[in-house]
């Protein structure tokens, strides 16, 4: 396919080359930092069809997006999702450099081989603990053995696995070195993420959950020699290497050190809302132009108008013992 003449450039001269698309707000887990236990999910009629999602992603690729990450909710619980992956695979090598996904791992044993066949080369798996009881408490509905089986299946299918662990004070702060050791033994990269103020979680208190990665890094430095890496993968992580083991560790720090200056990504929800920033409420409805015309020009125009409003950065803030810049929408709505 041919790219449109003018690529997507935001007001701060950042090319937009990375699109994260949520294909569903539903999930088979109820992680305490992501969802309320009794979630009210969107009516299915409001969701974009898989054909509409294909058309939308294709439009972004024609405008210069080179990396496509599929998220949710849990993307692999959406009925027919592998047909969507197979459709997107046609763009690999024809505008799209990478097709990937973020998953909780629960369905990987079923789908890993097919994902690899669709050109997926790596997956991010959310895994915050290796303790089965803690895992059940964090995910509410999840089972650790099922996820570990999925990770093994992904590795067997030739997929590179990166583990994403949300840093949770009083929950997994005592497992830091266990997670590092396990990932090293299994050959998985590991990224830690600060918990973000997304959505009303009822009794859960954000400040109680918040474990700043500056503290985590200091803990790592007590045992390892840390080498900062210049490498960037188009995502928000900053990377370091543990000299003693050679492992690469990523740190995503929206609170203690935001990553906005190099932001090259936008997010589309399963209802067609384009969020130019994870930490801002401003969005553009793409479902209306998508459904109003079979022609691509109105959709392209809507995308360009939205990118022209992309802000310089987010407003997340946990200082002063309060939660600043909190978003009303849940993480599962916007996509990971």
**Using one digit for the tens of pLDDT, what is the confidence trace for 84-100?**
999 999 999 999 999 99
Distance CA 163, CA 225 (A): 21
Q: What is the DSSP letter of 158?
A: T
Please tell me whether 69 is known to bind a ligand.
yes
Sheet-wide strand order for 98-103: 226-229, 238-242, 248-252, 189-194, 160-167, 122-126, 98-103, 67-71, 18-22, 265-268, 273-275, 283-285
Please tell me whether 57 is known to bind a ligand.
no
The pTM of the full predicted model, rounded to 2 decimals, is 0.87
Please tell me whether 265 is known to bind a ligand.
yes
The C-alpha angle 190, 67, 197, rounded to 5 degrees, equals 55
User: What is the pLDDT, as a whole number, of residue 204?
Assistant: 47
Task: Kindly indicate whether the domain formed by 18-334 is annotated with CATH number 3.60.15.10.
Answer: no
Tell me the residue ranges of DSSP E strands in the chain.
Answer: 18-22, 67-71, 98-103, 122-126, 160-167, 189-194, 226-229, 238-242, 248-252, 265-268, 273-275, 283-285
Please tell me whether 219 is known to bind a ligand.
no
Please tell me whether 260 is known to bind a ligand.
yes
Please tell me whether 214 is known to bind a ligand.
no
Residue in this structure with the two tokens 């928000």, named with its chain if needed = 236
Q: What is the mean pLDDT of residues 183-191?
A: 97
In residues, how long is the chain?
A: 336
Number of Cβ within a 10 Å radius of residue 329:
17
Please tell me whether 66 is known to bind a ligand.
no
Please tell me whether 270 is known to bind a ligand.
no
Is 231's pLDDT higher than 90?
no
What is the average pLDDT score of the chain?
87
Burial grade of 195 (CB within 10 A; 0-12, 13-18, 19 or more): buried
Domain ranges of the chain: 18-334
User: What is the pLDDT, as a whole number, of residue 202?
Assistant: 47
SS3 48: coil
Number of Cβ within a 10 Å radius of residue 227:
12
Please tell me whether 26 is known to bind a ligand.
no
- Comparing 151-160, 173-182, 261-270, the range with the smallest average pLDDT is 261-270
Please tell me whether 27 is known to bind a ligand.
yes
Q: What is the DSSP letter of 235?
A: S
Is 127's pLDDT higher than 50?
yes
Tell me the residue ranges of DSSP E strands in 195-317.
Answer: 226-229, 238-242, 248-252, 265-268, 273-275, 283-285
- Comparing 40-49, 129-138, 238-247, the range with the smallest average pLDDT is 40-49
Whose CA is closest to 72, among 271, 237, 253?
A: 271
Helix and strand numbers (H, E) in the chain are: 11, 12
């Amino acid at each position: 396919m041919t790219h449109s003449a003018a690529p997507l450039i935001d007001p701060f001269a950042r090319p937009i080359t990375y699109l994260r698309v949520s294909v569903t707000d539903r999930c088979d887990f109820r992680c305490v930092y992501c969802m309320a236990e009794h979630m009210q999910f969107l009516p299915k009629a409001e969701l974009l069809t898989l054909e509409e999602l294909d058309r939308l992603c294709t439009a972004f690729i024609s405008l210069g997006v080179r990396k496509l990450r599929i998220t949710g909710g849990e993307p692999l619980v959406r009925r027919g999702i592998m047909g969507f992956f197979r459709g997107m695979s046609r763009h690999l090598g024809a505008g799209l450099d990478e097709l990937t996904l973020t998953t909780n791992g629960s369905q990987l044993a079923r789908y890993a081989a097919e994902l690899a066949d669709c050109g997926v080369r790596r997956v991010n798996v959310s895994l915050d603990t290796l303790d089965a009881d803690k895992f059940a408490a964090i995910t509410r509905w999840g089972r650790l053995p099922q996820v570990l089986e999925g990770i093994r299946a992904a590795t067997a299918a030739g997929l590179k696995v990166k583990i994403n662990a949300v840093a949770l004070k009083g929950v997994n702060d005592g497992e830091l070195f266990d997670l590092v050791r396990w990932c090293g033994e299994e050959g998985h990269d590991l990224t830690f993420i600060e918990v973000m103020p997304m959505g009303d979680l009822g009794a859960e208190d954000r400040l109680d959950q918040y474990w700043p990665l500056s503290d985590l890094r200091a803990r790592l430095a007590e045992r390892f020699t840390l080498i900062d890496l210049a490498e960037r993968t188009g995502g928000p992580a900053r990377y370091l290497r543990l000299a003693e083991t050679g492992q690469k560790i990523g740190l995503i720090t929206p609170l203690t050190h935001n990553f906005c200056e190099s932001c090259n990504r936008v997010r589309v929800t399963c209802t067609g809302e384009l969020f130019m920033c994870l930490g801002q409420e401003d969005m553009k409805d793409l479902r209306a132009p998508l459904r109003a015309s079979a022609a691509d020009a109105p959709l392209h125009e809507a995308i360009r108008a939205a990118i022209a409003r992309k802000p310089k950065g987010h407003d997340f803030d946990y200082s002063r013992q309060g939660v600043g810049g909190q978003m009303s929408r849940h993480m599962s709505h916007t996509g990971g």
